[in-house]
Chains A and B, each alone.
Chain A
Amino acid sequence: AQSVAQPEDQVNVAEGNPLTVKCTYSVSGNPYLFWYVQYPNRGLQFLLKYITGDNLVKGSYGFEAEFNKSQTSFHLKKPSALVSDSALYFCAVRDEGNTDKLIFGTGTRLQVFP
């Protein structure tokens, strides 16, 4: 069965430094991968996705992610973190069955310190 793993519960980074939020996946076919961000008491906001095409995907708010098939990873990155990037980040993969649902990772809390 497909799954998504976010190995870090929390990532701390200083403002201005690059940040990486890790995600690995397990699917049998070609993955549809997504990153979302959630601010307190809010729904999820779409950041970026990989379905096909270039392995380096650029998304909203300066975020990007690289699809690495050999390492089955889809890490989220940003060259220079902002305090306002502090939030909860979710990686997700589309279910390969006929349900079309998303399977979420456990989430990673990003804390950017001034």
Chain B
Amino acid sequence: GAVVSQHPSWVICKSGTSVKIECRSLDFQATTMFWYRQFPKQSLMLMATSNEGSKATYEQGVEKDKFLINHASLTLSTLTVTSAHPEDSSFYICSARELGQGAANYGYTFGSGTRLTVV
């Protein structure tokens, strides 16, 4: 089945530094990727939708200058948390929209998530 590889699985960084999270679709082309943030014991909050070759669409309240999203190819999307602060510590998950014909092939594949801790 479709696989999305997300790296790193966990990262610890110092306040003020930037962190890049990568998501790759391994065996399919993902024209659309979604980036979520999840706080402990809470649901997923959609941060932005990225489409290959175009600017990401950010959800209301998400700082686009802080969470830079790049979707330069059909298999790679990146999220960069710039000038990270402790309040950015969270679990970040990407998801790719699978292309396909018909309802049977319609779906989303999720990465394994990245635990970011800013100290």
Q: Which residues of A contact B (CB under 8 A)?
A: 32, 34, 36, 41-46, 49, 51-53, 90, 99-102, 104-107
Cross-chain contact B112 with A43 (CB below 8 angstroms): yes
Cross-chain contact A43 with B110 (CB below 8 angstroms): yes
Distance from B101 Cβ to chain A, minimum over Cβ atoms (Å):
13
Cross-chain contact A104 with B108 (CB below 8 angstroms): no
Hey, which chain B residues are within 8 Å of A45, CB to CB? 110
Known: A34-B108, A52-B103, A53-B103. A107 touches B42 (CB 8 A): yes
Cβ-neighbour of B97 out of A44, A46, A100 (below 8 A) = A100
Q: Which residues of B contact A (CB under 8 A)?
A: 4, 6, 10, 32, 34, 42-44, 46, 49, 57, 91, 93, 95, 97, 103, 106-113, 115
- Complex Cα spacing A107 to B93, Å: 16
Q: Which of A43, A44, A100 has the most CB of B within 10 A?
A: A43
Q: What are 15 residue pairs bridging A and B, where the CB atoms are less than 8 Å apart in the complex?
A: A42-B112, A43-B113, A44-B44, A46-B108, A49-B107, A90-B43, A100-B32, A100-B49, A100-B97, A101-B34, A102-B34, A102-B46, A104-B43, A107-B42, A107-B43
- Complex Cα spacing A101 to B8, Å: 24
- Complex Cα spacing A109 to B43, Å: 11
- Complex Cα spacing A38 to B113, Å: 11
Q: Which of B10, B91, B93, B110 has the most CB of A within 10 A?
A: B110
- Complex Cα spacing A99 to B4, Å: 20
Cross-chain contact B115 with A41 (CB below 8 angstroms): yes
Hey, which chain A residues are within 8 Å of B43, CB to CB? 90, 104-107
- Complex Cα spacing A49 to B102, Å: 13
Cβ-neighbour of B44 out of A34, A49, A90 (below 8 A) = A90
Cross-chain contact B57 with A36 (CB below 8 angstroms): no
Hey, which chain A residues are within 8 Å of B110, CB to CB? 36, 43-46
Hey, which chain A residues are within 8 Å of B103, CB to CB? 51-53
4 shortest A-B CB distances, which residue pairs? A51-B103, A43-B110, A44-B110, A43-B112
Q: Which of B57, B108, B111, B115 has the most CB of A within 10 A?
A: B108
Cross-chain contact A101 with B106 (CB below 8 angstroms): no
Cβ-neighbour of B111 out of A34, A43, A104 (below 8 A) = A43
